[in-house]
Structure 1
């Protein structure tokens, strides 16, 4: 369901502004979206309650924190029964170095985005988490050479059916 069609232009403007700077005060947000603070605050709270805003986070620099190695890991499982899938997902979910985790169609069952300090740390992750799973069959790892674009901002566009 395309719920964005139910958002007015002020609500969409709030979402766009917060993706650029989640630390904006209600007063600053009101100035950006062209409303007074009270209706801006009400719209903001409504967007949070309706689940359009999941949380507010700070985006950190992995390189400066010593986590400069990004690996995209495609996993193929040999066994697809519910207990094995649930056990595999639970183990992967518990690992802090896994930043994104997707169930996939196509040639792989899962895609993971992992950050580590080094290839050796990634190898340890593979041994501890992936290779130890009884459902595991195959892994294909791709190491990022450099980051060209990385954003969490979703494109909130005007379009048909959107006011």
Structure 2
């Protein structure tokens, strides 16, 4: 695990502003944090170069785009061999329905968050990506009833 980066007040304020709205111009960020544009730009560039800022993305409304179901799936592998794990991870990386996948401790080896249009779409995902994968011993799926909180901003 890498060591946390020490941020000064301006850097922290820049990251908070970017997390709220990544479309802000450098000048708008500079004005909001009380710094001029040039040093603000240099700090943003340095944080990007240091890998603190991973991406700039647009958050979309999944339900309005036809992905009305969020499914969380706990996956247990048959064997904990490197090749089986790599095969499973490679297969998951190829599936557009899977938005997140984490290697876990506890009763499951992985947890997946997927978005699907409906139960039939999820069944196709299971048939194509899970039931055909010899590394998977067990999958336990949980359909989300409603979203209570979904943020991407870190608590800086």
TM-score category, normalised to shorter length: over 0.9
For residues 27-69 of structure 1, give each alpha carbon's deviation from its aligned partner in whole angstroms, at most 9, with x where no partner exists: 0000111100000000000010001100100000001100010
For residues 75-115 of structure 1, give each alpha carbon's deviation from its aligned partner in whole angstroms, at most 9, with x where no partner exists: 01112111111011100111111000000000000000000
Instruction: Let me know the Cα RMSD of the aligned residues.
Output: 0.8
TM-score when normalising by structure 2: 0.97
Look up the match of 1:117.
117
Q: How many residue pairs were aligned? A: 155
Look up the match of 1:107.
107
Look up the match of 2:29.
29
Unaligned runs of 5+ in 2: none
Unaligned runs of 5+ in 1: 157-163
Counterpart Cα distance in 2 of 1:134 and 1:20: 42
Counterpart Cα distance in 2 of 1:2 and 1:136: 34
Look up the match of 2:67.
67
SS in structure 2 opposite 1:140? strand
**Superposition map of 1:8-157 within 5 A:** 8-156=8-156
TM-score when normalising by structure 1: 0.93
Counterpart Cα distance in 2 of 1:154 and 1:79: 35
- Offset at residue 3 of structure 1 (A): 2.4
Counterpart Cα distance in 1 of 2:154 and 2:43: 19
